[in-house]
Chain A
């Protein structure tokens, strides 16, 4: 057992886990606050969407793509001055959450967009034929009908953010990533690195299982009949 391992103890690792969870959950939540409306916007302003606005769709899509195409590790470095201006500091969990959110929001937007586009166009058309306006269709058709898929998307996004948060440990913030990269690696404490890996794997598995369970529980298409098999398979494949 390395000296660092002893030094950290159960308490140290627990703190790491909690910090990781804290950063992941807060960042994902804030990313959804931004990404969900943007995803809805991307879906309905599409040329085949509810309210086609090609230029707006292209402009928003362009910015989303730019943010999505910057590797996260580079984005962190680039965002250091921005974080200092917005959060007041470029280190620590606050700055990290800001950076994670910037990286995750466009990812979430695309995730939401793709979930909403899975909603049967016929159902949307039926709602239009009843005199439903755009807002009512988003609230009462798109979001509820896409709910299982949105939950699956949220699980994927959360796991991605979790991975980012470990990466972020190299520059700023805490959590398991920081322990493994900034503390354990220089001192060669391999046992610490491996425990961090195991803990992250466990966290991912728990999020994944809970998410899948929730998605399946909310999906009314899986209740009975021949659709059950194909429906649940579809979701499993996506995960």
Chain B
């Protein structure tokens, strides 16, 4: 990471180099385009000195002045604030962008793409996604509204015949409901049913940021949401989005909190004091100054909640906060929410699939289905396919490692790994967030004698996608893997998705597919290489109950073809329902898991 490793005097050394090159070039020009004499060389060099000095002075000054420290002050100015803010965003997001470039580089290797420019498009796509998420976060924190007024009265939220459309797509239909102040409300429902739309409408993002059109009314206390953009309710509503990392602007948790506070009009000093308070209140001390991209999902969620509560809002909205968390982190978060509701009388509204953990909060349950909301919990009467059992494991061993360790930097994450896989076998690796499951998978992929034997599906599957539509993506996979007959990957994809080929879906951008479909696509893309083993990192990430059932079926289908499946997951319920062999990482050792099963 260039920004961190370079010393303070680097600009000075750079300028010295430039000055030397400058003098040298003057001498060369003099010799090539003038006459040769030793005197001429001396004269050319001495005449070049004044400008060379200017270069060195510039380098010296830029080493002396730390622009990073000046920027917060600049974004607080009356004039030049916008450009100061843009530059601050650019500077603080640079390290995470470099991290993304590395991730995409890895993905490019995993996909077997050679062209370097091929990943400039995914990089731009990721950048746009981040920019939109960041902009929404800025609006929600009151960017451009001056100092937000704090609102003291507890406010209930009321929707009255509220209908929301994006273009000609109706997202919410005639919703009428009341969310009482000071209590916890949980929205349940299938992916794409409109849970997020309810939250975004309460926050005002649907109407004022995503250009949705609505009829009916939505009021928060006395505030009419149709007339009030998100920035004016920053002191009333805190929002934690689905992928919290996407909207992080800064390089560390502390800077993230400070950035949010400055965006909402606080001075640098106020921002740093309040950030310090929040770090203490939410026990973020251990990782407040770590690079933000190495935080675990649980830690990142905690930071996002702290940031959302920075302005003392009365309402907290959370979109699937438990989705990426392991069991311990989920319990911790549920306890935190219970405490916030009890001590500060916060109104908490969240969308969530993991409902069992939330029972102890005794919330008001709402169920969202195709844009309609009714009371009660979703999912109790879902028809699921009768689960099939896994195929019989073959006797041929196709992949085997012994006594090897996974190291990250100087730290040994998992020691002494020995495992073997047989034809058609499914093996799960479990363990809490951050114990090294992903690193183990990456290490195994690298350890395999060739990529033709073993292919990896990384956790952020969208980094594998390099084209604009599902159709192109599928045919690109054929050509990358050199298949004589095109259409093979498409066949794999539709069969593991267990649906009829749908021409509508074929023209969708891969990044716009639902989470489960994206994972299925990534698996199909990697199966195009006909590997003997496929490694999958967190296949159930962000999936609802139905999609998790479907994912289990995907894994069974893959195993039936004889390909061995090794996947990492912290989703114990999924793993035990699947009934496959399980290994767990505990205290840096891979052990066979019969205790929790």
Do A and B interact? Answer: no
* Interface residues of B, Cβ cutoff 8 Å to A: none
Interface residues of A (CB under 8 A from B): none
